Amino acid sequence: MNILQTLWHQFSRRFMDKLTSEAFWDHLFEVSIRITLIVLLAWIVVQVGRFIIRKVFRLRANLPGNHTERRRKTIERLLQSIIAYVVYFSAIMASLSAVGINIAGLLAGAGIAGLAIGFGAQSLVKDVITGFFIIFEDQFGVGDYIQVGGREGTVMEIGLRTTKVKGNFGEMHIIPNGAITDVINYSLANSIANIDFTLGYTADIEKAERLIRTYLATLPEKNDNIVTVPTLLGVQNMGVGEMTWRISVETLPLQQYAVSRMIRKDLITLFEENNIDLPYPKMMVYDKNTVSKKGGAE
């Protein structure tokens, strides 16, 4: 017990001597200034680096080439993330060195630990490698509408490890790149919309067909989302009291739904203005008493 008290007193005395030492506070002040300058310099370097990357990609966007807007945004964000990781990691190492920690020994130990951890981090390595291939093969980019793993949405960010996809209801799907196998990209090519509508058997078929073709020929000039003149394919089905017709239209990527709604609305107005019969449900009501009387009379 006396030994412990003696050790405690010695430690307390040395600690208080250290705190009251002018050299200690001078060193602490100097280290604080160094760390503050390192952090400030790192932040400035990151901001300048991001600004330069942004400017370079803006200039390249004005040059003729095969780089699309979506690919430019994807690589731009990736490079900005990489420069932030590298600069801030270097700032942490410099700060530890300013405190007096042996960086060489720390890095050597980290290398050995990293080798041991690497055997258990194969999924992380897979995510990073897959992320590189996704970006540089241009499988999809920021702003694309894709389907992956049964989930659909707009790509918000592609990182080295994960991809963020925003769903139709605002939910954010964070998908490890290594889990991305089959991808459907709806933004690479033009979309096709098949629009079905019905006409009654009493309608003037020749008049309706003539009006529809005339209307379809005017659509590319009225709507920039329509690539070519839509095609009236003709009757697709004949049901009870109605015929089903189909129109096929090629639109810009992901514009097929808006174009379909517009065409359906215009067709209803066109048919009403030109007295083209539209099918409607018919109901026959029988009077029970009348039916009974007729049956009795017979």
CATH number, domain with residue 255? 3.30.70.100
Q: Are residues 255 and 238 in the same domain?
A: yes
Average pLDDT in the 42-50 region? 88
Average pLDDT in the 38-59 region? 85
User: 185: closest CA among 134, 118, 126?
Assistant: 134
How would residue 182 be classed by pLDDT, with cut points 50, 70 and 90? confident
- The answer, yes or no, to whether residue 1 has pLDDT greater than 70, is no
Q: Are residues 6 and 116 in the same domain?
A: yes
Query: Does residue 206 lie in a domain region?
Result: yes
Q: Are residues 195 and 180 in the same domain?
A: no
Q: Are residues 163 and 217 in the same domain?
A: no
Q: What is the pLDDT of residue 123?
A: 73
Q: Are residues 92 and 65 in the same domain?
A: yes
Q: What is the pLDDT of residue 19?
A: 63
Q: Are residues 34 and 73 in the same domain?
A: yes
Q: What percent of the chain lies above the pLDDT cut of 90? A: 16
Average pLDDT in the 137-150 region? 84
| Burial per residue of 67-103, b for 16 or more beta-carbon CB atoms within 10 angstroms, e otherwise | ebebbbbbbbbbbbeebbeebeeebeebbeebeeeee
**239 with 197: CB under 8 angstroms?**
no
How do residues 66-89 score in pLDDT, each as one tens digit? 456 666 777 777 777 778 888 888
Tokens read off for 278: 């539209």
Query: Does residue 82 lie in a domain region?
Result: yes
Average pLDDT in the 162-183 region? 88
Q: Are residues 113 and 173 in the same domain?
A: no
Q: What is the pLDDT of residue 262?
A: 93
**76 with 135: CB under 8 angstroms?**
no
- The answer, yes or no, to whether residue 64 has pLDDT greater than 50, is no
- The answer, yes or no, to whether residue 117 has pLDDT greater than 60, is no
Alpha-helical (H) ranges within 151-283 are 205-217, 219-222, 256-273
- The answer, yes or no, to whether residue 65 has pLDDT greater than 50, is no
What span, in angstroms and rounded, lies between the C-alpha atoms of 150 and 147?
6
Q: Are residues 181 and 228 in the same domain?
A: no
Q: Are residues 104 and 178 in the same domain?
A: no
- The residue among 103 and 201 whose pLDDT is bigger is 201
Query: Does residue 243 lie in a domain region?
Result: yes
Q: Are residues 16 and 100 in the same domain?
A: yes
- The residue among 170 and 81 whose pLDDT is bigger is 170
Q: Which CATH number characterizes residue 23's domain?
A: 1.10.287.1260
CA neighbours closer than 13 Å in the CB half-sphere of residue 35:
14
How do residues 262-289 score in pLDDT, each as one tens digit? 999 999 999 988 888 777 666 656 556 6
Q: Are residues 145 and 178 in the same domain?
A: yes
Query: Does residue 27 lie in a domain region?
Result: yes
How do residues 237-269 score in pLDDT, each as one tens digit? 888 778 899 999 999 988 899 999 999 999 999
Whole domain around residue 178: which residue ranges?
A: 140-185
Number of domains composing the chain = 3
Average pLDDT in the 217-228 region? 91
Query: Does residue 9 lie in a domain region?
Result: yes
**121 with 178: CB under 8 angstroms?**
no
> Worst-scoring range by mean pLDDT, 4-18, 109-123, 238-252?
109-123
- The residue among 236 and 7 whose pLDDT is bigger is 236
Query: Does residue 223 lie in a domain region?
Result: yes
Q: What is the pLDDT of residue 212?
A: 92
How would residue 187 be classed by pLDDT, with cut points 50, 70 and 90? confident
- How many Å from the N-terminal Cα to the C-terminal Cα in the chain? 123
Query: Does residue 154 lie in a domain region?
Result: yes
Q: Which CATH number characterizes residue 172's domain?
A: 2.30.30.60
- What's the whole-number average pLDDT of the chain? 79
Q: Are residues 83 and 104 in the same domain?
A: yes
DSSP 2: H
Query: Does residue 284 lie in a domain region?
Result: no
pTM over 0.85, yes/no? no
Q: What is the pLDDT of residue 284?
A: 59
